């Protein structure tokens, strides 16, 4: 019955009344939509408006549709505006750029905090570079803090190496065990693609070992440890790294073994063994030669025996041929004549 009554009532309305009803319905729908938007985004819009962050309702609705955390974006922009960074509407920290960084998987609050910290420390860091550093996987806020408050790195690093000291040998053969501390600060210009702390530790260790190895005497190094630091710093070890070396300090230096003397002793022992081996070889050669000579003597003696065995055979042949008799007569004549 109710639909019939409604249709009957609507049929009795004039066109003007129908238009008025349509306007009222549209107005009610618009009011309901407006109230829904106000209830969902009114607090964020008021916060942005009072902070001069310039975020409209349409931008908030777009964030909701794009599944962007609108509260995070508004808070980040409010922080930036209140800190006075990125205020340029074209090249500064705009809502679209914040949304783009959020959708790319970046940490928006950390980037804004890093930019604010850099601005307070008078460090040149814009939003594009900060966002690129964040998306590259580096902690941009920690990088800014390290630029302001330098970081100290142990060389060698006891957490990553089983050794607690560097071992180097001077030209006189004496070993020195050194532990160094490297003070570095972040180089934001080379943070993207720059080498990490491991490279700094490796280069510093190589420079220290080279400097000690070029010293004539270990006492020179112990008397002037700063010569190592100066020599290492002059090598430009922070090239193509994410850090800038502020200083290299020798924290500890100890005298180790006399490796040169030990190597000489080992060499002397090796030479002795070599000489003994050569002497043993010559002795063995002499014994072998003696045995060869004895074998030749026995061989010659056997040849003599063989020659003596041929004498009776020759005499027998001579008897058969009669040569021995004539020779004997002549011999007897000779003997008698003698």
pLDDT in tens, 250-297: 888 888 777 777 777 888 888 888 888 988 888 899 999 888 888 888
State the DSSP string of 95-140.
HHHHHHHHHTT--HHHHHHHHHHHHHTT----HHHHHHHHHTT--H
Q: Which pair of tokens denotes residue 131?
A: 């966002």
The model's confidence at residue 66, banded by pLDDT at 50, 70 and 90, is confident
DSSP string over 281-316: HHHHHHHHHHHHHHHHHHHHHHHHHHHHHHHHHHHH
**Cβ(180)–Cβ(208) below 8 Å:** yes
pLDDT band at residue 225 using 50, 70 and 90 as cut-offs: confident
For the domain 151-258, what is the CATH code? Answer: 3.30.479.30
Domain ranges of the chain: 23-147, 151-258
Residues 6+ apart with CB under 8 A from 136: 191, 192
Q: Residue 335 has what pLDDT?
A: 39
pLDDT in tens, 126-163: 888 888 888 888 888 888 888 888 888 888 887 877 88
Please state whether the peptide bond connecting residue 256 to the residue before it is cis, i.e. omega within 30 degrees of 0: no
**Secondary-structure percent of the chain, ordered helix, strand, coil, rounded to 5:** 65, 10, 20
Tell me the pairing of strands 166-169 and 243-258. Answer: unpaired
Which letter does DSSP use for residue 191 in this model?
T
How many percent of the chain have pLDDT more than 90?
Answer: 1
Per-residue confidence band for 53, with pLDDT thresholds at 50, 70 and 90 = confident
pLDDT-derived band at 239 (thresholds 50, 70, 90) equals: confident
């Amino acid at each position: 019955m109710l639909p019939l009554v409604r249709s009957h009532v609507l049929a009795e309305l004039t066109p003007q009344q129908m238009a008025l009803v349509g306007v009222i319905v549209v107005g009610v729908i618009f009011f309901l939509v407006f109230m829904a938007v106000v209830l969902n985004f009114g607090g964020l819009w008021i916060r942005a408006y009072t902070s001069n962050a310039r975020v409209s309702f349409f931008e908030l609705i777009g964030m909701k549709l794009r599944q962007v955390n609108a509260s995070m974006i508004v808070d980040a922009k409010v922080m930036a505006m209140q800190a006075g960074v990125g205020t340029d509407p074209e090249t500064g920290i705009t809502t679209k750029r914040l949304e783009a960084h959020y959708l790319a998987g970046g940490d928006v609050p950390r980037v804004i905090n890093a930019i604010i910290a850099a601005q307070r420390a008078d460090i040149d860091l814009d939003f594009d570079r900060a966002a690129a550093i964040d998306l590259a996987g580096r902690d941009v806020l920690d990088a800014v803090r390290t630029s302001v408050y330098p970081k100290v790195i142990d060389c060698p690093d006891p957490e990553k190496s089983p050794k607690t000291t560097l071992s180097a040998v001077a030209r006189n053969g004496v070993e020195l065990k050194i532990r160094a501390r490297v003070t570095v600060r972040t180089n934001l210009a080379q943070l993207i693609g720059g080498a990490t702390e491991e490279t700094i530790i490796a280069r510093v260790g190589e420079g220290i070992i080279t400097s000690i190895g070029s010293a004539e005497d270990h006492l020179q190094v112990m008397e002037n440890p700063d010569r190592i630091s100066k020599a290492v710093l002059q090598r430009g070890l922070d090239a193509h790294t994410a850090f800038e070396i502020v200083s290299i300090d020798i924290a500890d230096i100890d005298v180790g073994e006399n490796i040169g003397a030990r190597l000489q002793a080992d060499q002397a022992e090796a030479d002795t063994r070599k000489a003994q081996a050569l002497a043993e070889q010559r002795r063995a050669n002499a014994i072998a030669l003696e045995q060869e000579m004895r074998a030749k003597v026995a061989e010659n003696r056997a040849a003599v025996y063989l020659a003596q065995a041929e004498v009776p055979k020759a005499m027998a042949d001579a008897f058969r041929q009669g040569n021995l008799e004539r020779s004997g007569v002549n011999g007897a004549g000779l003997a008698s004549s003698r």
